[in-house]
Structure 1
Amino acid sequence: MLGTLIALAPSIIGFGNASTPILRRFGRCGDLSYGVYLYAFMIQQVLIWRFGARMTFAGHLAWASALSLAFAWLSWHLIEKPSLGLKQIYRSGAAKVVTMIRSKSGPRYREALRDQ
């Protein structure tokens, strides 16, 4: 038993660090992890509220997984990815503001104010 546990830990770490074609293609649909995190609990609760014990555990699991992934995909493509694109706009705008503030607080700007 102890030998199995000792061999299992490095095997799991090795598998986690492996880069296979299947694992490299996993992110091609977008980063769904945050969307799954946001929507999974709500979807599970709605399914339990709506269907309760009339649906089996496997049915709940299948529907919750499918709906969570669908909502996460929609969230990534309609909200998260476009929002990340705004980062460049605000970053360039913020850089212009910082440059403007620095130029107006520099020695030449203060001298020009004194001369007025």
Structure 2
Amino acid sequence: MRLLSVFVVFLGAVAYATSLDRAKSYILTLEEDQEAWKGKLDDLKSLVKQTGGKITHEYSLVKGFSMEIPSSHSTDVLERLEKFAQKLKFKLNIEQDQEVHAMSGPNGPVH
């Protein structure tokens, strides 16, 4: 019985530690009028993957993608993406993904 209690506590500690490094979701888009944007986008996706991130969606109407980055090093990854863009002299936008409502009333979003 005591072994079972220790095991349950261990599992709880592992679950807690795992939840501390949740991934943050971001959307990355390139500015519209840029040459060779396809290659730049592929390079950015490779950089995200190399740093432990994951591409979750590739957009077709805008030049960009969404990604998940472990929160423990999201700041570092975002800085590397910005430096990469500056080095190649192109503009990108990175925003944290969040829920958006088109309309809201006095008591919150209208569904």
- Note whether the superposition's TM-score is higher than 0.5: no
- TM-score, length-scaled by structure 1: 0.26
- TM-score, length-scaled by structure 2: 0.27
Q: Relative to total residues, which structure has the larger strand share, 1 or 2?
A: 2
Q: Relative to total residues, which structure has the larger helix share, 1 or 2?
A: 1
